[in-house]
Amino acid sequence: MAASFATRAPGEGFNAWKVPGAYFDAIVEVTADNAYPLTATSGYPFGTTQLNTLTGGAFSMIESVEVVNPWTNNNAGAAASCFVASFDKAHGSVRAFGSNGAGPATLLEVANGAATINGLVCSLRVRAH
């Protein structure tokens, strides 16, 4: 199983990705699965290939990715959990980091194949052209 990616429905008004010559600018929500891929390149793959598949666009470059919400548990009644999300531009991936309990400043990448973030959602603001 792999993480799932979905664009959040745009609000009313200007929708930049439908205006010729404009930048694509939208929120993409990433839902983690139960097998985080910790490898040499680490994390869930996310680049122009995934963006084009997701939107049906023909983007040639991702200009920027900003994490606007970390990996958080949004399920009512579930134990609260939160992990730092980061976009690794060099490897084109979304990565997850959490505390190992050694202290608030100690963050380690989620273990390979771990179900720790299964079902958690992070939001990315993606700008591409």
Q: Which amino acid is it at 40?
A: A
What whole-number distance in Å separates Cα of residue 42 and Cα of residue 44?
7
Q: Tokens 């990996």 belong to which residue?
A: 71
pLDDT digits (tens, 9 = 90+) for 31-77: 998 888 887 778 999 999 988 888 887 888 888 899 998 887 766 55
pTM: 0.76
Instruction: Please give the pLDDT value at position 88.
Output: 92
pLDDT digits (tens, 9 = 90+) for 67-125: 998 887 766 555 656 788 999 988 999 999 887 666 566 778 888 887 788 888 899 99
Instruction: Please give the pLDDT value at position 118.
Output: 85
Q: Are β-strands 93-99 and 107-109 bridged in parallel, bridged antiparallel, or unpaired?
A: antiparallel
Rounded to a whole number of angstroms, the CA Rg of the chain reads 15
Q: Which two tokens stand for residue 54?
A: 């997701």
Beta carbons of 118 and 33 less than 8 angstroms apart: yes
Write down the domain spans for the chain.
4-9+21-128
What whole-number distance in Å separates Cα of residue 10 and Cα of residue 20?
17
